[in-house]
Amino acid sequence: MQRCENRPTAFTFFAATRGALRRARFVACLAAVAFAAAGAWATVASAQQQPHKLPTIGFLGATTPTVWSPLVNAFVLRLRDLGWVDGRNVAIQYRWAEGREDRYSEFAAEFARLKVDVIVTAGTGAVLAAKKATSNIPIVFAAAGDPVGTGLVASLPRPGGNVTGLSNQQMDLAGHRLELLREVVPSVRRVAVLGNVDTPIIPMEMDSVQVAAAKLGLETIRLEVRNPPDIGPAIESIKGRADGLYICTDPFLTTQRVRINTLAIAQKLPTMNAFREYVQSGGLISYGPNLVDLFRRSADFVDKILRGAKPGDIPVEQPTKFDLIVNLTTAKALGLTIPESFLLRADEVIE
């Protein structure tokens, strides 16, 4: 009788193979779960290390933080009223050109590289630099002269492109400023017009002043400057030749306003300016839009853009508040008596 050997059958082989496959699948599932869990924790850790990026405003200041402090405060406070708080749900990055035209392009290019959500600035030169740096990032100007004539926008009601903001009517007010100067100084016959011709809007403003002066029967002397060393010789050249000095405002001359006023007072020259800062620093009279109000209103433009509006669809707005400022201390230094009727119309009298 033959002895039977204990050999594996086809059934036992199949059962063993199926068990091995089950174990392999189980191990694979465990590995997949572990891998998914590791990925989830890595995602959480990455989110904790890289917080959600806040919408960012690139604020390009044309002069200095000190000069623009009231303007920045008005802008930031209005943003807060609209629900935007710096550091909480929006970030504001500031850059200060200190009146140097060459820094506009530098900072505008930096904002373009940082891909900020909107650029806010003021002054034609700064806006043009920002527009050249980017055609995609929205740009809001808090104040700019002749936005259409300088090519900032296609039209006031339909700006088009990526730029919008508020006009400061820089050239439109030339005639009224000369009338105010003549009201205070009835003897004025010849007015010197000082301007930084490297700023795109200023040659246009100087032309407007000359046209307005001619209509009033006044002669003009054009003083073109580009750098700080130009200012002294320019004002010295009109000694005994002019009865008044009209200053075409731009960021560069704003940084030089104390020096300009000192030189003018030394020559007994009454000055006409566009903004309060000049009169605070020794100028005689200023008449122009309220810059604090313009910067406050610029926050409304930013709010609309951050909520999805296109800058090209937001109409350019005009000033609604204008300030007449007189410096009585300067008037006394010049030997002038300001008419009482004039002082009663002034929004502010500095003594």
Q: What's the rounded mean pLDDT across residues 207-226?
A: 97
The percent of residues in the chain predicted with pLDDT above 90, rounded, is 81
Dump pLDDT digits (tens) for 88-126.
Answer: 999 999 999 998 988 999 999 999 999 999 999 999 999
Q: How far apart are CA 201 and CA 197, in angstroms?
A: 8
pLDDT band at 285 (very low <50, low <70, confident <90, very high): very high
Domain chopping of the chain, boundaries:
56-169+291-313, 174-289+322-350
Q: How far apart are CA 86 and CA 89, in angstroms?
A: 7
Domains 56-169+291-313 and 174-289+322-350 share a fold: yes
CATH 3.40.50.2300 fits 56-169+291-313, yes or no: yes
pLDDT at 349 over 60: yes
SS3 assignment, position 60 = strand
pLDDT band at 171 (very low <50, low <70, confident <90, very high): confident
Q: Tell me how many helices (H) and strands (E) the chain has.
A: 13, 12
pLDDT score, position 3: 41
Span of 48-57, 186-195, 219-228, 242-251 with lowest mean pLDDT: 48-57
Chain position carrying tokens 């930096």: 110
Considering only CA atoms, which of 280, 286, 288 is closest in space to residue 184? 286
Q: What's the rounded mean pLDDT across residues 199-216?
A: 95
Considering only CA atoms, which of 297, 309, 294, 295 is closest in space to residue 117? 309
Query: How many other CB atoms are found less than 10 A from the CB of residue 300?
Result: 17
Dump pLDDT digits (tens) for 140-164.
Answer: 999 998 999 999 999 999 999 999 9
E strands, the chain, are 56-61, 91-96, 118-121, 139-144, 163-167, 190-196, 219-225, 244-247, 271-273, 285-289, 322-327, 348-350
pLDDT score, position 26: 47
SS3 assignment, position 96 = strand
pLDDT score, position 52: 62
Dump pLDDT digits (tens) for 9-36.
Answer: 443 434 444 454 445 454 444 444 444 4
Architecture of the domain made up of 174-289+322-350? 3-Layer(aba) Sandwich (3.40)
SS3 assignment, position 11 = helix
pLDDT score, position 53: 85
State the DSSP code for 186. Answer: T
Task: Indicate the pTM of the whole model.
Answer: 0.81
The number of residues making up the chain comes to 351
Read off φ and ψ for residue 118, nearest 5 degrees. -160, 145
pLDDT score, position 23: 52
pLDDT score, position 170: 85
In degrees, to the nearest 5, what angle opens at C-alpha 264 toward C-alphas 259 and 269? Answer: 165
Structural tokens at position 147: 């936005």
